[in-house]
């Protein structure tokens, strides 16, 4: 196992809570894979301490951090420079401290696109995204960048879907209520269905989605990765549909953050397979 020296590059993750995070394990795997002198630590940060915590990390010489719930949007006023992608999405998940400045990036777009290409091939055709949170914002941009069209956005609160569509007019989103009556007419054309909501984390299903209506060429993706097989994916598999769980996106976005900090892109697929085995055997 890699043993960081006193000169190790230090990175980490800020959020609240962090007990569930797989990022420290994952980032250590990337560093060991490439033989880098690298240390990655969790930094639990309450919302009221966010500005002082980031200033402290910067003063301590930390190279960068991942940003998770609830800070992805709260860090925006603190960042000196946003990438065009992070600015467009309105959320940051990666900070780089360089030359006295704080740079903000969002690697969820790249992570989702790479994972989906690796597990399901090219992204095209009509797509349906469930949810309206930070992950949805990134995935909508990823799908638009990859050429998926049209892109439907369904949320339990229609007004939220409509507001998000209005926020991103260039994406030409089609907002819908998350209801069986609203979704049934379009499901027969959907080539990719993506759940970005937290439904499935505790065994919840999606009664609004009649998977029998999806074409047999359709792909169902759930960004939830614990459990790996959510009720949505189990139902999709039972209908003979191709399924993509959320582990690939998790690893690919982490690999892109690692590249931003170190300049080297690790083999995300190899780390994903190791992590998948550990999750399936309840060792992690």
Residues belonging to the active site? 72
Angle, to 10 degrees, between the axis of helix 23-34 and the axis of helix 247-262?
Answer: 50
Which among 54, 43, 56 has a CA at the least distance from the CA of 13?
A: 43
**What is the C-alpha to C-alpha distance for residues 27 and 266, in angstroms, rounded to an integer?**
10
Between strands 94-98 and 64-67, the pairing is antiparallel
Residue 245 neighbours by CB distance under 10 Å:
23
Distance (Å, whole) CA 166 – CA 158? 12
Q: Which residues of 122-158 are buried (b: 16+ CB within 10 A; e: fewer)?
A: ebebbbbbbbbbbbbbbbbbbbbebebeebbbbbeee
| 198, two tokens | 């937290």
């Amino acid at each position: 196992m890699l043993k960081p020296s006193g000169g190790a590059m230090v990175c980490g993750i800020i959020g609240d809570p962090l007990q569930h995070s797989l990022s420290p394990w994952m980032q250590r795997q990337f560093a060991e894979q490439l033989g880098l002198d690298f240390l990655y630590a969790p930094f639990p940060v309450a919302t009221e301490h966010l500005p002082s915590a980031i200033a402290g990390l910067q003063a301590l010489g930390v190279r960068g951090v991942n940003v998770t719930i609830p800070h992805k949007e709260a860090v925006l006023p603190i960042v000196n420079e946003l990438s065009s992608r992070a600015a467009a999405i309105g959320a940051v998940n990666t900070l780089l401290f360089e030359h006295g400045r704080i740079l903000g990036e969002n690697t969820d777009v790249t992570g989702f696109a790479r994972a989906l290409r690796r597990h399901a091939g090219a992204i095209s055709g009509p797509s349906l995204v469930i949810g309206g949170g930070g992950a949805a914002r990134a995935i909508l941009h990823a799908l638009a960048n990859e050429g998926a069209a049209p892109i439907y956005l369904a949320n339990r609160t229609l007004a939220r879907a409509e507001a998000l569509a209005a926020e991103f007019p260039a994406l030409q989103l089609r907002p819908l209520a998350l209801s069986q009556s609203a979704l049934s007419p379009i499901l027969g054309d959907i080539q990719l269905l993506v759940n970005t909501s937290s439904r499935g984390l505790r065994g919840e299903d999606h009664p609004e989605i009649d998977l029998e209506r999806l074409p047999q060429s359709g792909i169902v993706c759930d960004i939830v990765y614990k459990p790996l097989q959510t009720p949505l994916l189990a139902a999709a598999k039972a209908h003979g549909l191709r399924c993509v769980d959320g582990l690939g996106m998790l690893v690919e976005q982490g690999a892109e953050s690692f590249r931003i900090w170190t300049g080297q892109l690790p083999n995300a697929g190899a780390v994903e397979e190791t992590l998948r085995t550990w999750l399936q055997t309840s060792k992690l």
